[in-house]
Structure 1
């Protein structure tokens, strides 16, 4: 399993000045103001909870240069998945309340089986949400990984730049 990605000020390995400057510039490029944010696709118009998630995520990501118009569809799928997760949580709470009120062992066992099925679906759904968040750059590790990639690209622009010294 690969090691977790670290920010430039937390790195312990030795780097050249050019590598360190490129890494810091790439990390700084993630944080400037964005020119614009993607518009929500029409598919979110039918799901008000997903649309609220869309607005909330964009507000929290303001100032991060991570998302652009091309990421709009993926973000919409992520918001719809968050909405479905909320529905599953509501269903779980309803079944738990129903189970507490039920006295008959047969009915209670049936509710436990339903609850177990829904909880396993919820767990799988949350794993999918975490992978989407990672792909969209919403986790700290994903943002640092993006900065590392940008720094590596900046260093590779001039591979012979260090031949003649400064």
Structure 2
């Protein structure tokens, strides 16, 4: 049985829950949504995995994410254990290539992965991203320039974009 270790990250007024397997970071979520969200995700995406709080095991992840949230880091060199379908993996890789402080549209991502007519599927893959910030789905906006869906909530998306714009 796999073990998912989790911890809380409190940095300034950011309160997150992060989780990792032995392979790498597998979850970032808002503490405001509670541990229930991680439990539900683990039950559906990693059935049978046990959840264990282990602050020490997540120190390196907390450090880099904390530096990012403080405005002192623009990218990550953390290992990730994302799972996902081959299509999701392709979308998530395209997200990781968006430079910090820039935004793109869902259509742009569909074009980048060579599937220009798959905008809705791209949006679904982006919505399934388990590691907010590490795979920067907050950098994807609507074609009309408006902020659209984000698992962490639109307020969090807006804060992340403002953080990156202020660097």
Give the TM-score category using the shorter length: under 0.3
Larger Rg: 1
Bigger strand fraction: 2
Bigger helix fraction: 1
TM-score, normalized by length of structure 1?
0.25
